[in-house]
Chain A
Amino acid sequence: LAKTTQPISMDSYEGQEVNITCSHNNIATNDYITWYQQFPSQGPRFIIQGYKTKVTNEVASLFIPADRKSSTLSLPRVSLSDTAVYYCLVDRGDDKIIFGKGTRLHILP
């Protein structure tokens, strides 16, 4: 599985757009990029997944450039409740996925 690298922590303010970038230089052709979110005292939960270009759902957008060596999770107009750890994963579609340390996002009022 390709290794991912993302910032350890980020701070932002309520109402702003937050972009978290993840690098995955060794991503393979069959790999998908998946993001999970973990709130304090809860298990992680899936938020978005993509292969290339742009994916958008009710929670976030995911931007993936043509070379797929990086991806950017975009959270529009964050609120205090978006404070969480965000994990970028490379997912081959088999059972096993590996979680890194994630990015600890802290939203300030």
Chain B
Amino acid sequence: DAGVIQSPRHEVTEMGQEVTLRCKPISGHNSLFWYRQTMMRGLELLIYFNNNVPIDDSGMPEDRFSAKMPNASFSTLKIQPSEPRDSAVYFCASSSWTSGASYNEQFFGPGTRLTVL
């Protein structure tokens, strides 16, 4: 099992440019999560999908951020235009969620380190 795959692993861009982060969840998982981690704010949930449908996007900081999940094996997080304060590590995680299950273990990818100059 390859685990959650994220690309790119590192991204350096200039302010104002569009950035697209990609995630391939574990095959068979039906929930996908995007997190952002910084020293100041810790690990923040941005948005999550269940069966490819966005369920909660209350963590998305502003309209510059958007996320899509066109199918069960692929998701993107886009920032347009990017700003220096968007610099962070962005993690994608997936899980196999079952209604009524006692817990829901999330499997995290290696993250994408984004630097906006």
Binding site for B on A (CB under 8 A): 32, 34, 41-46, 49, 51, 87, 91, 93-102
> Given that A95-B95, A95-B97 are contacting pairs, would A43 and B109 also be in contact in the complex, using a CB cutoff of 8 Å?
yes
Binding site for A on B (CB under 8 A): 4, 31, 33, 35, 42-45, 48, 50, 55-56, 91, 93, 95, 97, 100-111
The dominant DSSP class at the B interface is: strand
The dominant DSSP class at the A interface is: loop
Whether the pair B31, A95 counts as a contact (CB closer than 8 A) is: yes
> Given that A42-B111, A99-B43, A100-B42 are contacting pairs, would A93 and B104 also be in contact in the complex, using a CB cutoff of 8 Å?
yes
Cβ contact of A93, chosen from B43, B44, B101, cutoff 8 A: B101
Whether the pair A44, B108 counts as a contact (CB closer than 8 A) is: yes
Q: Name which residue of chain A comes closest to B42, CB basis.
A: A101
